[in-house]
Each structure stands twice: as C-alpha cells, then as structure tokens.
Structure 1
Amino acid sequence: MVDNIAGEHESSFVDSAKDKITESFHDDDLSSSDSDGERKEKKNYPVPPHRNMVHSLSWKEKPVHSLLGGGNAADLLLWRNKKKSACMLAFATIIWALFEMIQYHLLSLLCHILILVLGVHFLWSNTLNLFYKCPQFPQVALEEDTVLEVASVLRLEINNSLEVLREIASGKDLKKFLAVIAGLWIVSVAGSCCSLLTLVYTCFVLLHSVPLLYERHKEKADAIIEKAEAEVKKHCEGLQEKVLSKVPSRKSKDKKLT
C-alpha cells in the first residue's frame, strides 16, 4: 500500500511538472508571438508627418541658428551672449588696427609678447615670492590628443572642400559652377584692392552682423533672395540655350562615329 501511494504521488508530481513546463513553453510562444507582432506593428507603423516635415524643410524655413550649425559658434554669431561676441569683435578690431593702421609687424608682436611673458614669470618667481607666498606660475602645454583632433578635423575639412570642388568642376551643376566662378572673381578683385588681413577682418565683421540682421528681417531678406534666384535662373537658362546647347557632347560624337 505504501509503495502504491508513493508511486501515485510520484506520478502526480511528474504530471504536474509536465503541465507546468508545457504551460511555460506555451506562454513563451505567446509572448514571442506577441513581441513579433508588436515588432511588425512598429515596423509597419507609419512615420509621423512632422518628422518628414523636418527633413523636407528648405533652408529658408529653418531657423538661422540651425543653419549656422548650432552650438557656441552660432550663439557668438547671433549675439546670444553679448559679452563674448563683443569681446571677439573687439579683439579682432585691435589686431586689425595694430597691423593695418599702426603698421605693426607680426614678428615684432611675437617678440614683445614673449618679452612680457618672460618678465612676468621672472618677477613672479624671484621677487614676489620673497615678500608674499604666491602660488606657482601656471604651466602651459599642448596635449597630444587636442593636437591630433585639430589635425584630423582640418584634414577632413580640406578633403571635403576638395571633393566639393571636384564635383563642381565636373559640370554636373551649372548654377554651382557659375556661382563659384563669380565668387572667386569677386574675391580676386577684393584682394587686389585690399590686403589679406583687411579681407579676413571684413569677413569676420560680416559674419557677426549679417546673420543677426537676417534673423531680425527674415521675411524681407527672403523676398529679395527669391527675386535674385529668379534672375539668376533666367540668365542660366539663357546661357544654356544660347551657348551650352550648341557645344557638341561626347554622346553626339559617338553617334556620328557609329
């Protein structure tokens, strides 16, 4: 009797364990199927329209801060921090005045800066420490990581600019080609009229003034830009019809040869 009761107890325990295992597998299958269904629903779920609107916006509809790349540089150019922007413009004005108006030379400026730094360091370490307990003069050193980062950024920017110039020179986009040629011609004329430092300083002042004025008078500026784009488009179409359409291409030459 005891053996029969023990056997029945073991069989009932085994059956209950089997039922629990099958139920757990069934639940896992249901949960996996539910998760697959949710994934499919998430995949098939349409993208909200406002996301597509963000990508389809033209540069005129975007804010000026995002057009300038955002971050601290855009804040400086748009005078979000007036003290920093004013300090940058004042520093650039002082440098331009020293080299252009006072006719100061770069080598003399570097030598005078080094004389000042060495004199301050000498007084700091020998004279002031005799009377006061001054802290040590701060050490200035360039880190290897920062130098490598700057070099990598410069390399990428130079490669990107060379790639853009190659695409423009390939003749795929006539508008970009004519715009670059006109811009280079304007820069060459401006370079013959003034020095490189004056040209750089003028560009710096324009960067600190034009984006701010455009942000304040965006509607009027967009209207003027649209008129200018329409005029340029007309001239480009006329040039293409009168000149470029008469130039024989490689395809026409190949057809004649065949």
Structure 2
Amino acid sequence: MATYSSDSDNDFEPTSKLLGRQRPIHSVLGGGRVADILLWRDKRLSAAILIAVAVMWFLFEVVDYTFVTLLCHVSITTMLIVFIWSAGADMFGWTPPNIPKDILVDTSFVDVASIIHNKFNNFLSICHFVACGNDAKSFFLAIISLYILSVIGNYISTLNLLFFGLLCVETLPFFYERYEEEVDYVAYKIKRQMRKTYRKFNAEFLGKIPRGPAKEKKG
C-alpha cells in the first residue's frame, strides 16, 4: 500500500503571508491614491464609490435601466440643476455654480492604468507558466476552478458578477488588512491540508501510473 510523508508540512510557517506576500498590502496594491481607496484610508471617497456602485447595480438590475437611458436622464437632471442654480443666483443672490473643467486629475488615470497593466501582465505570465505544464498541481487546480466558474456563470448574470467583483475589490483588501493575522493563519491551514490531499492523491493514484525507463543523458 502506498504511503506518503507529511514531513514537508513544516515548509510553510503559520506566520507566512497570504500567497507568499513579502510587502505590505498597501504596497502590493500599488500604493498611492488607488491603494488608499481600496483600503479605506479615505473613508469618504471609498464610501462614495461603494454607494455609487450599489446605486448603479440597483438601477440596472432592479429598475431595468439601460445605459443610454440612464446617461441621458442623469445629464438632463444635472443640466436642469445647473440651470435653476444659475437663474436663482441673480434673483436671490446665490453663489453661481462653479464647476471645474477638469473633474479628475490626469495622474489618477495614469496610476490606475499602470496598476492594471502590471497586474494583467503578471497574470498572463502566470497563466503561460501553468499552461505549459510547469506546475501540474496549479494546472489541474486552474482547470477545476475555471469549470466551477463556468457553471456559476450559468446562474449569475454578467451585471451581478461584475457588481460582486467590484464589491469584493472594494471590501476584501480592507478586511484583510484589518484581520491580517487571522486570515494568514486560516490560509496556512488550508494550504497545508491541500498539500496533504495532493500528496496522498499522488502516492495512491499518480504514483501507480507506469512510466517508461528514464533515458540516460549523453555526455
């Protein structure tokens, strides 16, 4: 009967960071404005973005708004407010509306685009490495995960999936930073159990697959 060893369970310390992370979570997220928003360092802006995403989901999913209709109605409402404000400024002595020409700074788009570009390139590199068969465990895990996502996708609309993804991006980094030690410990336990399961599967099934004799390398 095949046996397997669990000596290598100690290769991972309970204090190791999630996904082998060495840098602080703020640095992993790129630092700067984007990381501050995701980690709720600027609570007002983070809350405003989360509320805006929730309102957009409600309008599209519950009220059944289309994008063009919603954009037109928002534009009409904004123009009416500015018109009434401007007209009332002369009659009632209000401060006239002063809307800046540039709402967002150019560097904000550059920072976001740079982070997305780097993360996407790293993701493609990992996918290429796994798809080439360099890590059999990660390859089979990726296939199973993608299949599970494809099944879930049959029951969840694209809009709901997008909203759920944005909700996770907006909340999970914050909660992870707050409960970092607890999450790292749970991740360590899960990783250790997965290694045991894979080692047992390898010893009882994969190890029994007959292989041809190894060819000697020519000197």
TM-score category (smaller protein): 0.5 to 0.7
- Deviates most, 240-249 or 208-217: 240-249
Unaligned runs of 5+ in 1: 1-56, 141-145
Q: Is the 8 A contact 1:77 1:212 kept in 2?
A: yes
Q: Which residue of 2 aligns with 1:181?
A: 143
SS at match of 2:154: helix
Contact 1:92/1:201 (CA < 8 Å) preserved in 2?
yes
Aligned partner of 1:26 in structure 2 is none
* 1:94 aligned partner: 55
Larger RCO (CA under 8 A, 6+ residues apart): 2
Bigger proportion of residues as helix: 1
* RMSD of Structure 2 on Structure 1 (CA): 4.1
Structure 2, unmatched stretches of 5+, are: 1-15, 103-107
CA shift in 2, pair 1:152/1:247, >3 Å: farther
Q: Partner residue of 1:210? A: 172
Percent identical pairs in the alignment equals 32
Cα pair 2:40 2:174 within 8 Å, conserved: yes
Q: Deviations over 1:32-86 (max 9, x none)?
A: xxxxxxxxxxxxxxxxxxxxxxxxx864564222232322222111111100110
Give the whole-Å Cα distance in 1 for the aligned partners of 2:183 and 2:43.
24
After superposition, where does 1:161-200 map in structure 2 within 5 Å? Answer: 161-200=123-162
User: Which is further off, 219-228 or 184-193?
Assistant: 184-193
C-alpha deviation, 1:108, in angstroms: 1.5
**Correspondent of 2:45 among 76, 84, 91:** 84
Could you tell me which residue of structure 2 aligns to residue 224 of structure 1? 186
Q: Distance in 2 between matches of 1:62 and 1:153?
A: 16
Q: 1:227 offset after TM fit, Å?
A: 0.9
Q: TM-score, normalised by structure 2?
A: 0.66
**Structure with bigger gyration radius:** 1
Rounded Cα–Cα distance in structure 2 between residues aligned with 1:78 and 1:149 = 16
- Does the 8 A contact of 1:190 with 1:199 survive in 2? no
Aligned residues: 196
